[in-house]
Chain A
Amino acid sequence: DTAVSQTPKYLVTQMGNDKSIKCEQNLGHDTMYWYKQDSKKFLKIMFSYNNKELIINETVPNRFSPKSPDKAHLNLHINSLELGDSAVYFCASSQGLGGETQYFGPGTRLLVL
C-alpha cells in the first residue's frame, strides 16, 4: 500500500536516448511534483501539477516533458538524455497547493553514460 510509487527505481542509459519515469500516488491528492536531486544531494523542484494542470515549470530544459493523464499519475519523459541529467528524480504529492505537506516517492536513480 505504497503511498507514492515510482518506476523504475534505477535507470541506466546512453546519451541521446529518450526515457520515461512513471509516478503514481494512491493518497487521493490533487497535486503532484517532480524534484531533481543532484550529486551533492541538493533538491530542486522541476514541475508541479494540480488536477492535471501545470502549475510550476522551473526553467527546466524543453527536453523534459511532464505528463499527467489523471491526478493520480505524473510521468516524466526526457528526450535526448545528456550526462548532466544523471541524478535522482523524486516524485511527490500533496493534498493541494496551499503549502500542505508533500509526500515523496522512493526516487529513480538515473545514470546517463
Chain B
Amino acid sequence: AQSVSQHNHHVILSEAASLELGCNYSYGGTVNLFWYVQYPGQHLQLLLKYFSGDPLVKGIKGFEAEFIKSKFSFNLRKPSVQWSDTAEYFCAVNVGRRGKLIFGQGTELSVKP
C-alpha cells in the first residue's frame, strides 16, 4: 500500500536557523507531491507542489522542496526560519487518477524567538 513517511515528529529551532524536513513515499509510479502547512487553529494551506519538470520547486514564504525520484523523497527546506513559521507541516502524495491524497503523519515545527 502507498504510504508517506515524515522523519521528524517535532522539530525545535531558533529563529534564523535553517530547516530541512524529510519526506519519503512508497509508490513506484508517477506521483504528484505536496507540502501543506497548518498554522495553529487554522486549515491546511498549500506551501508548494511538484507535478513534473524541475525537481527543485519553490513555494510561498521562502520554502522550497527537492524531488529526488531515486530516493522517493521530497524534502522541504527553508534557509532561515522565522517565529511565524511555527506550525504543523504535512507532506502528501497523490497517486492514481482518483485524486486520493495520502498524508504523512506531520511534523510540528516550533521556532523560538
- Residue positions of A touching B, CB distance < 8 A: 31, 33, 35, 40-45, 48, 50, 55-56, 90, 94, 96-107
Contact with A along B65-104 (1 / 0, CB 8 A): 0000000000000000000000010100011011111110
In the complex, A41 Cα to B38 Cα: how many Å? 10
Q: Check B106–A55 contact: CB distance below 8 A.
A: no
Shortest A113–chain B CB gap in Å is 21
In this complex, which of B38, B46, B105 has the most chain A Cβ atoms within 10 angstroms of its Cβ?
B38
Residue of B nearest to A55 (CB): B98
Q: Is the interface of B mostly helix, strand, loop or mixed?
A: strand
Q: For chain B, which range describes its interface: under 10, 10 to 19, 20 to 34, or 35 or more residues?
A: 20 to 34
Q: Which of B49, B99, B101, B103 contacts A98 (CB 8 A)?
A: B99
Among B34, B43, B99, the residue within 8 A (CB) of A96 is: B99
Q: Which residues of B contact A42 (CB under 8 A)?
A: 103, 105-106
Contact B98 A97 (CB under 8 A): yes
Known pairs A31-B99, A99-B99; A41 contacts B94 (CB<8 A): no
Chain A CB within 8 A of B12 CB? no
Residue from A40, A41, A107 having most chain B Cβ neighbours under 10 A: A41
Total residue contacts A-B, CB cutoff 8 A: 62
Chain B proximity of A54: nearest CB distance (Å):
11
Beta-carbon contact of A55 and B43 below 8 Å:
no
On whether the beta carbons of A40 and B105 are closer than 8 Å, the reply is yes
Q: In whole angstroms, what is the CA distance A94 to B100 when docked?
A: 11
Which residues of the other chain, B, contact A90 by a CB distance below 8 angstroms?
Answer: 43-44
**Given known A40-B105, A98-B99, A100-B99, contact A105–B49 (CB-CB < 8 A):** no
> Ordered nearest first, which 9 A-B pairs have the shortest CB separation?
A99-B32, A99-B94, A43-B103, A104-B44, A97-B99, A106-B43, A104-B43, A41-B106, A55-B98
Task: Give the distance in Å from the alpha carbon of A41 to the alpha carbon of B90 in the complex.
Answer: 10
Q: Give me 9 other A-B pairs in contact (C-beta within 8 A), A55-B98, A103-B46 excluded.
A: A43-B90, A43-B106, A50-B99, A56-B98, A98-B97, A99-B31, A99-B97, A100-B99, A101-B49
